[in-house]
Amino acid sequence: MSRQIHLKNSADKATIDKSVFEELSKDPHLSSLNFFDNLRLHSSGCIVFQKTHKKQRGAGYRTETIYLHKLIAERYLAHTKKQGASLVGCKNGDKRDCRLENLQYRSRSEASRKRKSSSKVGYTGVYKENNRYRAVISQNRRSLHIGMFATAEEAAKAYNAKSIELYGNAGKINIIPPHASSDDGLATGHPGAKMSPAPQAIKDAKKGHPPTSGWSDMDLDRRG
């Protein structure tokens, strides 16, 4: 079961496991801070506690900062932490969702892939060129050209399939509205060939097979 927590500076709410809430509520230090009554939504989207204390020695003040997702991961998921994967991320991309099942340790490269897209069209790995959309993905710090497509949504689906093929569950997946586009567009990187529906491409990728869409192996390996 989960529990929602009100935030001091936002109408949004944080979500954590009920058992975690009950256990952390008994923590002497957190209780002394009124921790759960003073959580805020950080500009980064994370849930954070901050309090300024007067230094015990010398003049001045110090600020105590506790990120909710990091606190929970360090307390309950430390056994899942691996070498090179020290950053805590949220699987579904919602940093307010701090349930144990949604938290995981990631490497810096994986965290980078999961970041919000900076693409002007709104999809990771998709860029508009003239009246077409190019899909590209990074591997070993090099850009791989996936193909050219008629719509941004078709390019985003192609990116998703390639991301799963290369990175599995650690790959970034674009969220595409179901009504955004049809699946029968043409990939201009492979003239005359129709794209297979995105779900099938994703299924193939998960099985370790190349995506069965409208581009060739040459297109996939071509450097952008």
Q: Average pLDDT of 48-62?
A: 88
Backbone angles phi, psi at 190, to 5 degrees: -140, 80
Q: Average pLDDT of 26-48?
A: 95
**Residue 85 vs residue 148, higher pLDDT:** 148
Residues ≥6 apart with Cβ < 8 Å to 151: 133, 180, 181, 185
* pLDDT > 50? residue 15: yes
User: Could you tell me the pLDDT band of residue 57, with boundaries at 50, 70 and 90?
Assistant: confident
Q: What are the structural domains of the chain?
A: 2-111 (3.90.75), 116-221 (3.30.730.10)
pLDDT in the model for residue 192: 35
pLDDT in the model for residue 115: 61
pLDDT in the model for residue 221: 39
Q: Average pLDDT of 191-200?
A: 40
Quick check: pTM over 0.85? Answer: no
Residues ≥6 apart with Cβ < 8 Å to 48: 39, 40, 41, 42, 65, 66, 67, 68
Judge whether 100 and 76 are in contact, CB under 8 Å.
Answer: yes
pLDDT in the model for residue 66: 97
